[in-house]
A and B are shown apart, each in its own frame.
Chain A
Amino acid sequence: MIPGILPLLAITIPLAAAALILATGRHMNLRDSVTLGAAASMVIVVLAMLPEILAGGRIGITLIPLLPGGDLALRVDALGMIFGIVASVLWLLNSLYSIGYMRALNEHDQTRFYFCFAIAIAAAIGIAFSANLVTLYVFYEILTLITYPLVVHVGTPEAMQAGRKYLAYLLGGGICLLAATILTYTLTGTTEFIPGGFLAGAGAAALSLQVIFLLYLGGFVKAAWMPFHAWLPAAMVAPTPVSAFLHAVAVVTAGVFGVVRVAGWVYGVDLMADLNLGVLLAVIASFTIITASLFALAQDNLKRRLAYSTVAQLSYILLGVSMLSTAGLIGAVIHIPFHAFQKIALFFCAGAVIVGAGRENISDMKGIGRKMPVTAVMCAAAAAGICGLPPFCGLVSKVYLTIGAVQAGELALLGVIIVSAVLNVAYFFPIIHTMIIARPSDDRALDTVTEAPLIMLVPIILAVTASVAFFFFPATPFLDLAEIAISDMSGAGMP
């Protein structure tokens, strides 16, 4: 087999699926089988690369020369593999769920929906496997544009408004990323990701490197750090599978992935420390974690509360990077998949409540668990996972982050983690209480409520099961991959 064919396949499968989806749009069952078939084969292709990556290898392929300093090139390494597995596996779950959700609500323009979804996944995989900044940027922009039709799917004036906000933030971010890429290229003559970074040898002034880092951060506005997070709650007008896609599968994941990539493979830990960029990241992340958690408390709309929870949880990853210590970085990297599996389950539950009960506000969900037991229990489990309770994988990444904070000697960061844990409980447990324990407001309130269809429950159960499994076996494969990734990027002397 040609080396490098697998990463190329991983991108072309969803692209080919997109074309097939358009071609088979008239036949609903055929079209949806295309999506499922592509998702399943993509999982197989991505997992087929896992053994070689776990053995410390890399799989690369250069497609075409594109620009000075950056061919269109793919290279799979441990960090990219983590994102790749998250995107492909969750796409499979999300596709199953979408089919149930979109059919149950009889949504319009489903062909467009699945078409955009498939291309968006190709872009996400492209980001995960990109070998240099130019390739990353190309797929990053494609992801922005192709998710726009998904966000504004309902087509109401409110949705269009949200869509404009979405585009303004993300295209603005794209411009920053492009500027940062070009500046990096002019300083060093390359944009190729190198473990441990390549900017240190450029001999550039500290101030300009700091400014470029700010541009990168602006570029990765997909990570929804405050105060540039407003696009994410606004995008909640989208259908629930799209929210799940934004929050777990690809979009925000691409943002935090980009930050980790740039920190470790462009700047390098030592340079980050020299330039005090860790402090900058820590301030941004701490501010975001606390503020977003407080915002989450105030939301009555379940999806909006989850959105603010995502904003806060993503900043855990930035916080881990900011520690610039081994444990902190590992915590950051494994929080990407662990948060994704738990958050997708939560969004699936929110969607199940919309389908089964037609309700979006938490205050209307009193006692809903009596009629929707599976959804309510799974929702409680996933929420407990995000709060960092056993036996869910959220605990694993939080333990690493805590160790990282202690290792770095930053008690302030430890304080942030503790305060945030309290806030997590404060905004998640009322949901669990309302759904399971509280009594319905009157006897007839639950008459119209039914459990969501099986095709939607299966992905929820699978996601929750996975997060339990990752608690008991964190090493397979995410922790192992994270350790390989971190040992790749860290030079000697890191605490």
Chain B
Amino acid sequence: MNAVISQLPPLLIVIPLLGALAALLLGKWNRAFAYPISLAMIGFQFAVSLVLMESVMDGDVIHYYLGGWPPPLGIELVIDSFNSFVLVVILALALLTAVWAHKGADLDIVPEKKVSFFVVFQLLITGLCGMAVTGDLFNLYVFLEISSIAAYTLVAAGRNPRSLIAGFNYLILGSIAAGFIVIGIGYLYIATGTLNMGELAVMLPAHYGQTTVYAAFLFMMIGFSIKVAFFPLHLWLPDAYTEAPAAVTILIATATSKVTAYAMLRVIFSVFTLQYVTDSFPVTELILIIAAIAIIAGAVLAIAQDNLKRMLAYSSISQMGYIMFALGVANQAALAGGILHIMAHAVMKGCLFMVAGMIIYRTGFTAIRQLSGLSRRMPVACAAFAIAGASMIGVPPTIGFMSKYYLVLGAVEAGEYLAAAVLLAGSLLAAVYIWQVIEVMYFGDIHDEDLGGGLEAPASMMVPVIILAASCLLLGIFVELPLEVVGPAAAMLLGGG
């Protein structure tokens, strides 16, 4: 392993943390400094994540001991195919969101607060990077809390007073979840005396039958289920997504939810291992059932919404069901589909929320029925919405179709025909909630003539949207590229790595 590359994992966290401090201090001096520094830091992280993914693609794993202390004494950072993939995905999305937010933040953030907004924004991303790279369970909890507290703050940062209530609601439920997770981690420590994930995976099998371990598992599962908004523990999500500043909604819906899902999969497969959840404590069947309910319930609730952002929020609950579905089936094809869906959903939901934000930016419209005839005023944005929407439905050859295909394939291979049928039915329901928007946008009449035409958003918002919409298509057509990483990642998780 190249000496420079092996030093990169801690730099991924440390340099942006220092950068955030610099942005804050320089921003106090002159507001114009904060945004470029934040953007540069996220760009740096994205570049690092690409280098890391490239270097572990052939199956290598990078281990880094903080301060040179090997576990169990010290904290270990681990880079493998799974988390390097997640890092690239969320950092790409974070970078595009940051570009989008250059103009998009004006929508909800008063100018005096923009410095602190971008600093917290960057702290959130850094917390997420920490969650992704750490090989230590307690360290995972610490980074989870860093990113969560940043997220609570950001949700509440909007001008809209309701964002404060949504943020507070999110804070309460998120803290309860954090409590559950830390209790679970404590139990594992009691049982084994270590917090290193790799060591836990080796030592836990001897303790599989213990009540302490069962309790640890349940506490952590419930905690993570709240954090990822796994139905029916999703209650914080619709308000948070709807009322948060537009840029924050995009970041939370794409990066935060995906890293949390990553952490959940990591804990289940790399700490408890597949054998535990299928043999010792068979919960996969239960997870599959709840996931199926989540897919349907989220989609049905989405259909009932009139507010565009809230509709997309319920759609996220449904889509999180897809990722949990992979966990419930737990075979190679399904897990590859689930990991692929982490990327697919980030890309398409990012695009949809960006368009929703651009519509508010230009017209102030939040309700779906107000969007009548919008395609004539914002043709590019609406076309992007249509493409990302098609991906959400799972129309080939979009990326949303590819992940759905693997999920169904996995379910069929596992003999879970009913679950496969539910998943397919879910995509029909997705067609309903996406289509009711597209119908209005493209075939409705323009109601308020005085708004005029030519409302396309500025280029700095448009470019990320176009990139994401194009990615929905290109990543689907050239799905071999992500699969080169996703396939081994799924195999590694199943092997308990």
Contacts and interface: CB of A to CB of B under 8 A. Distances in A.
Given A178-B408, A178-B424, A183-B412, A160 B396 contact: no
Contacts, number: 63
A160 B395 CA distance: 21
A138 B397 contact: yes
B483 to A, nearest CB: 9
Interface stretch (A59-67, A234-242, A463-471): A59-67
A142 B396 contact: yes
> Of residues A152, A160, A179, which shows the largest number of chain B Cβ atoms within 10 Å of its Cβ?
A179
B402 A67 contact: yes
Contacts of A66: 397, 477, 479
> Of residues B405, B431, B435, B442, which shows the largest number of chain A Cβ atoms within 10 Å of its Cβ?
B405
A149 B333 CA distance: 35
Contacts of B439: 152, 160, 163-164
Interface in B440-456: 442-443, 445
B36 to A, nearest CB: 36
A16 B261 CA distance: 41
A66 B401 CA distance: 11
A72 interface: yes
A162 to B, nearest CB: 12
B412 A186 contact: yes
Main secondary structure of the interface of B (DSSP, over half): helix
Interface in B388-420: 390, 393, 395-397, 402, 405, 408-409, 412-413, 420
Interface string A140-160: 011001000100100100011
A101 interface: no
Main secondary structure of the interface of A (DSSP, over half): helix
Please classify how large the interface on chain A is, using the bins under 10, 10 to 19, 20 to 34, 35 or more: 20 to 34
Contact of B395 (A68, A142, A159, A164): A142
> Of residues B396, B409, B442, which shows the largest number of chain A Cβ atoms within 10 Å of its Cβ?
B396
Contacts of B397: 66, 72, 138
Contacts of B402: 67
Nearest to A156: B443
B409 A172 contact: no
Contacts of A159: 443
Contacts of B425: 175
A68 B428 CA distance: 23
B424 A141 contact: no
Contacts of B442: 149
A406 interface: no
A64 B390 contact: no
B281 interface: no
A155 B435 contact: no
Contact of B409 (A142, A175, A182): A182
A182 B480 contact: no
B73 to A, nearest CB: 45
A421 to B, nearest CB: 39
A323 B197 CA distance: 64
Interface in A163-216: 163-164, 167, 171-172, 175, 178-179, 182-183, 185-186
Interface string B460-496: 0000000000000000011110000000000000000
A316 interface: no
A186 B334 CA distance: 13
Contact of A182 (B412, B428, B479): B412
A338 interface: no
B427 interface: yes
Contact of B480 (A64, A155, A179, A185): A64
Given A138-B396, A163-B439, A179-B420, A145 B390 contact: yes
B51 interface: no
B412 A65 contact: no
Interface string A46-69: 000000000000000000111110
Contacts of B435: 164, 167
Nearest to B333: A68
Nearest to B395: A141
B442 to A, nearest CB: 7
Contact of A141 (B396, B413, B478, B480): B396
A338 B393 CA distance: 36
Nearest to A183: B412
A312 B83 CA distance: 57
A179 B421 CA distance: 8
Contacts of B390: 145
Nearest to B408: A182
A137 interface: yes
Given A72-B397, A137-B396, A149-B442, A175 B413 contact: no
A149 B383 CA distance: 13
A67 B477 contact: no
Nearest to A149: B442
A175 B443 contact: no
Given A64-B478, A163-B439, A145 B409 contact: no
A167 B443 CA distance: 15
A142 B442 CA distance: 18
B492 to A, nearest CB: 19
A332 to B, nearest CB: 28
B405 A65 contact: no
A72 B479 CA distance: 11
Contacts of A141: 395-396
B67 to A, nearest CB: 45
Contacts of B413: 186
Nearest to A186: B412
Contacts of A175: 424-425, 427-428
A67 B405 contact: yes
A141 B478 CA distance: 18
B467 to A, nearest CB: 19
Contacts of A167: 431, 435
A66 B476 CA distance: 8
Contacts of B408: 178-179, 182
A172 B412 contact: no
B431 A171 contact: yes
Contacts of B427: 175
A67 B412 CA distance: 15
Nearest to A178: B424
A155 B443 contact: yes
Contacts of B428: 171-172, 175
Contacts of B395: 141-142, 145
Contact of B477 (A64, A172, A179, A185): A64
Contacts of A172: 428
B420 A186 contact: no
Contact of A186 (B405, B409, B424, B443): B409
A155 B372 CA distance: 12
A423 to B, nearest CB: 36
A163 B412 CA distance: 32
Contacts of A142: 395-396
A167 B435 CA distance: 10
Contact of B405 (A164, A171, A182, A183): A182
13 contacts: A64-B477, A64-B480, A145-B390, A149-B442, A149-B443, A163-B443, A167-B435, A172-B428, A175-B424, A175-B427, A178-B424, A179-B408, A179-B421
The 4 A-B pairs of least Cβ separation, nearest first, read A138-B396, A175-B424, A155-B443, A186-B412
Given A149-B443, A182-B420, 12 more contacts: A64-B477, A66-B397, A68-B409, A141-B395, A152-B443, A171-B431, A172-B428, A175-B427, A178-B424, A179-B408, A179-B424, A186-B409
